[in-house]
Amino acid sequence: MELIPVLFITALLAGYFVLAGCDIGLGMLMPYLARTRGERRRAVSAAAPYFLGTEVWLVGAIGAVAGLFPGLKAAVVTDLWPVFAVLLAGWLLRDAGLWFRARAEAPSWHGLWDAAIVGGSWTVAVCWGLASGALLAGGSLASPFVPAVAAVVVVLFLLRGAAFGAERLVPPGSEADEAGEAGDALPAGRSPHTAVSADTAARLTRVLARAGLAVLAVAVPLGALSGALDGGRPLAAGAGAALVAVALAATAGTEGPGRSRHTSAVAMGVLVPAVGVGAAPPVEPVPGAVLTLVAVALAPVVPLMVVGQVALYRMVRRPAPATGFFARVAPVPAPAGTGALAGAARFRPTAVGGPQERESHGA
Amino acid sequence: MLDDPLALARLQFAFTAATHYMFVALTLGLAPYILFNQLTAVLKRDEARMRAVRFWGGLYVLNYAMGILSGLVMELQLALNWSGLSDMFGYAFGAPLAVETMGAFFIESTFLGLWIFGWDRMGRWAHWACFLVVTATAYASAYWVLVANGFLKWPSGFRIEDGTAVLDSPWALLGNPSTLMAFGHVATSALLVGAAVIAAVSASHLRRGHDPDRMFHRGIRHAVAILLVAVFPVVAVGGAQFILYGQEPPTSGMTYSAEEIAAIEADRSPAVEAVGRIGGDVVMMTSWLLITVVAATGAVVWLVRRLDRARWFHWVLIALPVLPYLASIGGWVFRETERQPWVVRHHLTTADAMTDLSPAMAVASFAFFTAAFTALAAVTVWLLVRFARRGPEGGPLAPAPAESDREGGEPVPARTL
């Protein structure tokens, strides 16, 4: 009977890595992919809508582990205290950066929070790498196997971010937005820059896939030779590594960038069960009363969880807008000669319910 | 103190919990107000009211960020620093928190994301329904956290086997009297926090004569009304909790005998007791009394139709939020110190609940999280005040100005998110 909670938690964690890998990865790549202020604003605008919806998977997973498998939680989190403490710090800084960035206009403000986003994203990825390596190595950070695994995990995050960026950094002018928005065509100088970010990201996926294969080629023998997995299930970990290698190989070829969205998702998704099964952490059966309590309390709201997530991803799947809650443009001053009132009449927000036909205003 | 991991871990928890609660209280207090406002706006198809919703919603979203950040630390801090609690009471304490993270927080954040990013992208009823889910799950979240916290004060529904607690009755957990009364108290006091903030913001704009769409004329009236409605229930439910004082929880005696319990309690620090009683109870009660005075004054000023113009009263309202925030923190200090030296009353002391932290770990953790929280909370408060003063034009959820091409002079559809 403990299979169902284990599967549920594995699904939550895998979901976190697959989904949050996108925004974490993009945050890590920001200094490389986004050089100008506009590009950086667009990169943040691409990552930000996701993080709110993706981090809840991790919060739920931690809660589920703490409540249903406290022994597992002790073995994983408490025993790796420094790694998880630093991960928490990085997570905190990254979220703060994403949320506060667009709240003021000063470049120094943006620079500060951009640094928090990039630094926080790298911290989180590296810590997950160290945690995965330490778990596979039987709970100790000392083995040389650990940094090798950490490197693989970091590359997987970068790959996921690059695949995400290849899609989401495409400027809206080149897609569905052309209907009725022709008047908003970006000035000639702007589109090439933002398109460059997406192209760079796409090309990066191949480089990262090859780097990932290289690191994997180091990690697997290290794991086999150092005896790190003796306490666990080396075959399961090996199978996981093989699947990751296949996904990376599919991305490493010329057709790779086009498929990278799916292959990077597969690689990330395999990571969780590979580490979870391979490390063989202690899992005790969940007592009946606890399982009943949690199952009965959650059953009515699971549909809401699913519906909400699906709706959120469909909504933010469209190309990243240039402005929004997480990435605002500095307000343009009203054209000279117009009074405040005339400007206000011109600048009426769209009515609730969607853009509608509006009568032309007399001068 | 720097070489006492227990003191540092406790201080860290107290500080992070207090910070967390300040932002949570405003979330709980503001959500129903926004929900009601948006309902009116949708029913009347009133664009002006929707602008008010955008304004209050912008403040809500800003505040929510700090609630999340502090909440993340709360969740992981329990796992990192308080593993002793998990070893003995892992299931009983952890199961309600597990439900909270998945059944409440997960849904709340997801639907808040939908509400933020779905503005003008979905039907107006669907958009309102998203915020209905956000409000409901916010209160559900409070309930489940209080199930865990109430268990600490009034442990029931389990038996002890081999030194760990085995859950017997989930119903005892859910219907715990300490939980239910605390929930009522938290819900009503959060309304006071929300109303005070709405009153302060509205008063500060009315004082300057700035009242677009009469939103602050409405806001100040709503706020005074909520204050009047909530101020007596909060003390009634809060006072009812004193019933449990001096009573033994039903599971008393399963871990320690009565003599051992008395010995442990005799050891408790008088300093902590004093902090709890004075810093906690007295601050809370005094603040409540002052809030009542302000609410009553507000009622009178409203009756003589001076609410929009009485500048002296506007200043009172601008200062008002200090009181419910002080009361909230004081209340939590009182609640938590009253339970010491126990973390689970009569079963587990705070000292035994802590992870085996080295002084270095404790200092590093305390230093980082205290500094980070202070900085982030300060930034959030600064941003909240700034956007509150700015008003509805240019708020965090205001429609984005269109891209640079506006010299054409034609109405440009404002690009919302």
Q: How far is A332 from chain B (nearest CA, A)?
A: 7
Length of chain A: 363
- Asked if A191 has any chain B CB less than 8 Å from its own CB, the reply is no
Residues in A touching B393 (Cβ below 8 Å): none
DSSP-assigned states of every residue in B283-343: HHHHHHHHHHHHHHHHHHHHHTT-TTT-HHHHHHHHHTTHHHHHHHHHHHHHHHHHHTTEE
**Ordered alpha helix ranges (H), A189-287:** 190-226, 234-252, 256-279
d(CA A345, CA B368): 50
**What is the distance in angstroms between the CA of the first residue and the CA of the last residue of chain A?**
73
- Residue pair A264/A228 in contact (Cβ under 8 Å)? The answer is no
Residue B318 is assigned to a structural domain of this protein: no
In a 3-state reduction of DSSP, which class is residue A331?
A: coil
Name which residue leads in pLDDT, B393 or A307: A307
Name which residue leads in pLDDT, B272 or A44: A44
Provide the pLDDT for residue A342. 37
Exposed, middle or buried: residue A182 (CB in 10 Å: 0-12, 13-18, 19+)? Answer: exposed
Residue B225 is assigned to a structural domain of this protein: no
Phi/psi at B17 (5° precision) = -65, -40
Number of separate domains in chain B: 1
Token pair 């500094």 is found at B371
Length of chain B: 417
**Does residue B341 have a cis bond before it (omega within 30 degrees)?**
yes
d(CA A20, CA A85): 19
Residue A351 scores a pLDDT above 60: no
Along chain B (417 residues), what's the average pLDDT of each consecutive run of 10 residues? 87 94 97 97 93 95 94 90 92 94 95 90 92 97 96 93 89 94 97 97 94 93 97 95 88 89 86 83 95 97 91 96 96 92 92 92 93 94 94 81 40 30
d(CA B320, CA B262): 42
Q: What is the largest CA-CA distance in chain A?
A: 80
Please state the domain extents for chain A: 3-175+189-346
Provide the pLDDT for residue A198. 86
Phi/psi at B269 (5° precision) = -75, 125
Range of the domain at B241: 27-160+171-211+234-268+339-390
- Residue pair A91/A116 in contact (Cβ under 8 Å)? The answer is no
d(CA B90, CA A78): 13
d(CA A149, CA A146): 5
Q: How far is A347 from chain B (nearest CA, A)?
A: 7
Q: How far is B265 from chain A (nearest CA, A)?
A: 28
- Architecture (CATH level 2) of domain A3-175+189-346: Up-down Bundle (1.20)
| A81, A185, A321 member nearest B80 (Cβ) | A81
Q: Which residue of A has its CA nearest to B76?
A: A88
Cβ A355–B415 below 8 Å, yes or no? no
CB contacts under 8 A, B 39-68 vs A, are 41-42, 45, 47, 50-51, 61-62, 65, 68
Provide the pLDDT for residue B401. 59
Residue B142 is assigned to a structural domain of this protein: yes
How many C-beta neighbours within 10 Å does residue A281 have? 21
- Residue pair A358/B408 in contact (Cβ under 8 Å)? The answer is no
Cβ A305–B102 below 8 Å, yes or no? yes
Q: How far is B87 from chain A (nearest CA, A)?
A: 7
- Asked if B359 has any chain A CB less than 8 Å from its own CB, the reply is no
Which residue type is seen at B64? Y
d(CA B408, CA A332): 14
- Asked if B102 has any chain A CB less than 8 Å from its own CB, the reply is yes
| A88, A95, A321 member nearest B415 (Cβ) | A321
Q: How far is A357 from chain B (nearest CA, A)?
A: 10
Ramachandran quadrant class, A354 (left: phi over 0; alpha: psi -120 to 50; beta: rest)? left
Cβ A84–B112 below 8 Å, yes or no? no
Provide the pLDDT for residue A1. 55
In 3D space, the residue among A24, A30, A49, A37 whose CA is nearest the CA of residue A311 turns out to be: A49
Task: Give the model confidence (pLDDT) of A268-277 as tens digits.
Answer: 999 999 998 8
Q: What is the mean pLDDT of chain A?
A: 82
Q: Which residue of A has its CA nearest to B357?
A: A81
Residue B273 is assigned to a structural domain of this protein: no
- Asked if B9 has any chain A CB less than 8 Å from its own CB, the reply is no
Residues in A touching B356 (Cβ below 8 Å): none
- Asked if A258 has any chain B CB less than 8 Å from its own CB, the reply is no
Residue B127 is assigned to a structural domain of this protein: yes
Provide the pLDDT for residue B359. 92
- The complex's ipTM works out to 0.90
Residue B401 is assigned to a structural domain of this protein: no
Residue A190 scores a pLDDT above 80: no
d(CA A120, CA A111): 14
When mean pLDDT is compared over A4-13, A314-323, B240-249, the highest value belongs to A4-13
| A53, A64, A315 member nearest B118 (Cβ) | A315
Q: What is the largest CA-CA distance in chain B?
A: 85
- Asked if B169 has any chain A CB less than 8 Å from its own CB, the reply is yes
- Asked if A309 has any chain B CB less than 8 Å from its own CB, the reply is yes
What is the DSSP-derived secondary structure letter of residue A85? H
* A99-127: average pLDDT: 93
Provide the pLDDT for residue B406. 34
Residue B78 is assigned to a structural domain of this protein: yes
**What is the distance in angstroms between the CA of the first residue and the CA of the last residue of chain B?**
50
Cβ A352–B120 below 8 Å, yes or no? yes
Residue B6 is assigned to a structural domain of this protein: no
Exposed, middle or buried: residue B225 (CB in 10 Å: 0-12, 13-18, 19+)? Answer: middle
Residue A331 scores a pLDDT above 70: no
How many C-beta neighbours within 10 Å does residue A141 have? 15
Compute the count of residue pairs across chains A and B with CB atoms less than 8 Å apart.
Answer: 263
Task: Give the model confidence (pLDDT) of A134-176 as tens digits.
Answer: 999 888 888 889 999 999 999 999 999 999 999 888 776 554 3
